[in-house]
């Protein structure tokens, strides 16, 4: 059974894993490839059913009653659950978190691109996305529409960052994710091509093919770029096709996460 421990001193080193929540650079340095933080009951449910090993949890007192059944779970048998007042938690994490529920869990290694290429039929490829909420929303949509995996360019944000995991409602923890190595992007798209994938680059360009008109191949990778600049010219040229989602002439473009979700729904429809 998990153990409840009250924290009264915000400098207590036992809760060091929860510090500097609003500074992604510091958090990346702290977490490295070792652990990540999940926030909220829905997200921690996904932590548990995805097989990520739990390290600890941090709760406001008002969260303890609802959390008590979790203490009976095998996954929390040897886990310490810290509780602290909202004032103490604010000093620990560096920002105001009313009704706080945070969980620290071990990361799982990212997959290899080659492994995903041999085991998947539909993948999403993200280039240069540094907005954590967009990446989380894309991951959630990918899970919802049966996309098998995410592939990230070298300069994409950390898929285990707290806001990314939270926005995905923890669904990102169930998705196989791989990252292209430095110097391999976008040339390593050819690895997908050699495994029979077509690669479709999403772009609002009027010269691109209408998404609804192009037959969906047996193996497909959908490429999306960062909000604003979109895919780089190199990525567009490396793809086997450029496709667009037809929208009203009165609107310039769609949010990248919305566009990705529409594309996933279109290509995974029965």
CA distance 76 to 57: 10
Question: Residues 7-54: pLDDT tens digits?
Answer: 999 999 999 999 999 999 999 999 999 999 999 999 999 999 999 999
What are the structural domains, with CATH classification, of the chain?
3-106 (3.30.1330.30), 113-267 (3.40.1280.10)
Q: Specify the residue for token string 């390593």.
A: 188
Q: What is the DSSP letter of 157?
A: P
**pLDDT value, residue 269:** 86
Tell me the three state secondary structure of residue 122: strand
CA distance 144 to 205: 27
Question: Residues 164-198: pLDDT tens digits?
Answer: 999 999 999 999 999 999 888 999 999 999 999 99
Q: Which two tokens stand for residue 45?
A: 């449910």
Helix (H) / strand (E) element for 227: namely none
**pLDDT value, residue 188:** 92
Question: Residues 194-250: pLDDT tens digits?
Answer: 999 999 999 999 899 999 999 999 999 999 999 889 999 999 999 999 999 999 989
Q: Which two tokens stand for residue 212?
A: 């609804």
Query: Is the pLDDT reported for residue 1 higher than 80?
Result: no
Instruction: Supply angle C-alpha 39, 40, 42, rounded to 5.
Output: 120
Closest residue by Cα to residue 32 from 93, 106, 94: 106
Count Cα atoms within 13 angstroms, Cβ side, for 136: 16
Question: Residues 101-141: pLDDT tens digits?
Answer: 999 999 999 999 999 999 999 999 999 999 999 999 999 99
Strand ranges, E, within the chain: 3-6, 35-39, 54-59, 80-83, 101-106, 122-127, 149-152, 177-179, 198-202, 209-210, 220-225, 241-244
């Amino acid at each position: 059974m998990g153990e409840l421990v009250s924290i009264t001193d915000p400098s207590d080193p036992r809760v060091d894993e929860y510090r500097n929540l609003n500074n992604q650079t510091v958090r990346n340095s702290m977490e490295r490839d070792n652990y990540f933080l999940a926030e909220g009951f829905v997200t921690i449910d996904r932590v548990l059913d995805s097989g990520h090993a739990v390290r600890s949890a941090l709760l406001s007192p008002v969260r303890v009653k609802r959390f008590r059944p979790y203490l009976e779970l095998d996954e929390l048998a040897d886990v310490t659950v810290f509780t602290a007042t909202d004032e103490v938690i604010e000093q620990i994490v560096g920002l105001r978190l009313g009704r706080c529920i945070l969980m620290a869990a071990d990361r799982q290694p990212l997959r290899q691109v080659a492994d995903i290429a041999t085991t998947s039929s539909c993948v999403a490829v993200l280039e240069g996305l540094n907005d954590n909420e967009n990446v989380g929303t894309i991951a959630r949509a990918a899970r919802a529409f049966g996309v098998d995996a995410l592939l990230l360019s070298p300069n994409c944000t950390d898929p285990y960052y707290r806001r990314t995991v939270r926005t995905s409602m923890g669904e990102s923890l169930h998705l196989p994710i791989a990252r292209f190595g430095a110097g391999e992007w976008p040339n390593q798209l050819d690895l997908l091509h050699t495994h029979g994938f077509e690669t479709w680059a999403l772009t609002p360009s009027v010269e691109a093919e209408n998404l609804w008109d192009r037959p969906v191949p047996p193996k497909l990778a959908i490429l999306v770029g960062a909000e604003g600049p979109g895919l780089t010219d190199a990525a567009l040229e490396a793809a086997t096709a450029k496709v667009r989602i037809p929208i009203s002439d009165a609107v310039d473009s769609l949010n990248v996460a919305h566009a990705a979700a529409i594309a996933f729904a279109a290509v995974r429809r029965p």
